[in-house]
Amino acid sequence: MRRYQRDRPGELIRLDINKLGRFERPGWLMSRGCRTSARPRPPAFCCAPCAGSVPRASRSNAYGSAYRSRRFCKALRLLAIRHICTRPYTPKTNGKAERFIQTLLREWAYGLAHPSSTARNADLPRWLDWFNRSRPHLALNGLPLLSAVKKLMRNHS
């Protein structure tokens, strides 16, 4: 597989979505498998608006179709951003976004004990800051993402 990297940070932005279950208390997995509590309710799901990423232009909770909504396309046009769609569930063309979602789920959403989904969502900015500034990335020779970007910028100056 051919690896590619853009010359400037932000030159290519990948957007993807994943459903996360809402909960009011940690489930049995986080309580070490203790199943003595009342029968759990089926999870509800929460999803951040797609167009809200570029910028906060839509409040849609739809999934992939939100990327094709008029409001989302208008937001891209206003920012002079070229919109390229990939096929769903295609790591070959959207592998970096798919890989990031795997890491996000494993290390943040389900890897940390959160007392509720509201607390988990409130923790996302802290985790993203750690991910970008401190977490070593194997593909970047152990550098945190921000350090690798700064190094790239110095090399291109």
Q: How many CB atoms lie within 10 A of CB 66?
A: 20
Q: How far apart are CA 55 and CA 82, in angstroms?
A: 15
Report the share of the chain in percent with pLDDT over 90: 22
CA distances (Å), origin 100, targets 65, 83, 104: 21, 20, 6
- Reported as a single tens digit per residue, the pLDDT across 35-93 is 554 454 545 555 544 444 554 433 444 456 777 888 888 989 998 988 888 777 777 77
For residues 86 and 66, what is the distance between their CA atoms, to the nearest angstrom?
14
Q: Which pLDDT does position 30 carry in this prediction? A: 58
As to burial, measured by CB atoms within 10 angstroms (0-12 exposed, 13-18 middle, 19+ buried), residue 67 is buried
C-alpha closest to that of 46 among 66, 63, 29: 63
The SS3 call for residue 141 is coil
pLDDT of 140-154, one tens digit each?
889 998 898 888 778
CB atoms within 10 A of CB 80: 6
> Given a cut of 70, is residue 17 above it in pLDDT?
yes
**pLDDT reported for residue 46:** 52
- 113 vs 92: which has the higher pLDDT: 113
Grade residue 155 by pLDDT with cuts at 50, 70 and 90. Answer: confident
Looking at CATH, the fold of the domain delimited by 20-156 is given as Nucleotidyltransferase; domain 5 (3.30.420)
* Tokens of residue 76, six digits: 């891209």
